[in-house]
């Protein structure tokens, strides 16, 4: 339902979040804003009360929205903050709504290598920045030289990568609930793009072979513990195929929980908690979640 349309953006009321998450579950967003571009988003932020909760959404691939939905405003950046440009000197600027796969392709088109792993991440650059997303041995922040950030008042700032503390699937440096990523400057290297294209094809083939891409999931649910793999521990616990309602631990990859068709967010969250409990009980390891859980139960 459209409440209003600004000069360019759209504000939606009571929008079903299941349409926007890769798990295909979740309640409604009280409000959702679809900005036309950065200028439109900044103008919208300047109209929002300082007490209104804001949640930023990309491809929804690392996200569990609870069945009670999300209060406040969801800022939907997917395919909207989509600027990419070559800056020269092996640098590329990317806004947060661009998919990681498109970034990998764009860089290769400009003779730049290093971020081929992004082709295997089913999210946007905003999500990749927020959690230092990685795949196949590569991590996003290995290539970040600076970021563009916006605050609640709509003020845009450029910050060097050195302002942030970055580790495995964790990035610290934004003011919680008052600053968000708008874009990133990547510093890359020139290289053999033919070999890089071949590597991307190999990575994507491996992903298709090892991951349950035919069913709704969020990607990897748990972080890999130091010196081990979450999938190995879950499989060793005998949980492949274990289901609660329509949520099931994938038979293909134990670190994936799939929606077999009628799962609720509550089913998925209960299964996440059960897997954690059983792995800790049998192996003494408390798996940490990689997926972001938001909203009201």
Question: Which residues participate in catalysis according to the annotation?
Answer: 169, 220, 290
User: Tell me, what DSSP letter sits at residue 280?
Assistant: H
Q: At residue 119, what are phi and psi to the nearest 5 degrees?
A: -60, -20
Note whether 245 and 258 are within 8 A (CB).
no
Among 110, 164, 124, 107, smallest CA distance to 141 is for 164
Q: At residue 54, what are phi and psi to the nearest 5 degrees?
A: -120, 135
| Three state DSSP letters for 224-235 | CCCCCCHHHHHH
**d(Cα 170, Cα 129) in Å, to the nearest integer?**
9
Largest CA distance in the chain: 57
- Burial status of residue 142 (CB atoms within 10 A of its CB: 0-12, 13-18, 19 or more): middle
């Amino acid at each position: 339902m459209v409440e209003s349309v600004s000069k360019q953006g759209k504000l939606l009321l009571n929008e079903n979040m299941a349409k926007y998450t890769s798990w295909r579950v979740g309640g409604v967003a009280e409000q959702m804003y679809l900005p036309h571009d950065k200028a439109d988003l900044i103008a919208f932020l300047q109209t929002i009360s300082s007490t209104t909760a804001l949640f930023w959404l990309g491809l929804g691939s690392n996200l569990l929205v609870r069945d009670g939905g999300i209060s406040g405003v969801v800022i939907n950046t997917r395919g909207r903050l989509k600027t990419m440009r070559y800056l020269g000197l092996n640098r590329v600027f990317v806004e947060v709504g661009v998919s990681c796969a498109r970034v990998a392709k764009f860089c290769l088109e400009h003779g730049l290598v290093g971020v081929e792993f992004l082709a295997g991440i089913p999210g946007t650059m905003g999500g990749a920045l927020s959690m230092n997303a990685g795949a196949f041995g590569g991590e996003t922040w290995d290539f970040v030289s600076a970021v563009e950030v916006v605050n609640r008042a709509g003020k845009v700032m450029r910050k060097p990568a050195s302002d942030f503390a970055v580790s495995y699937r964790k990035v610290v440096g934004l003011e919680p609930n008052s600053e968000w990523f708008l874009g990133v400057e990547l510093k890359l290297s020139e290289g053999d793009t033919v070999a890089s294209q071949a590597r991307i094809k190999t990575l994507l083939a491996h992903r298709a072979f090892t991951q349950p891409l035919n069913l709704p999931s969020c990607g990897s649910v748990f972080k890999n513990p130091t010196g081990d793999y979450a999938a190995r521990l879950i499989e060793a616990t005998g949980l492949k195929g274990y289901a609660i309602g329509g949520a099931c631990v994938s038979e293909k990859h134990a670190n994936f929980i799939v929606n077999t068709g009628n799962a609720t967010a509550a089913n998925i969250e209960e299964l996440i908690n059960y897997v954690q409990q059983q792995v800790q009980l049998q192996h003494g390891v408390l798996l940490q979640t990689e997926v972001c859980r938001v909203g009201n139960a």
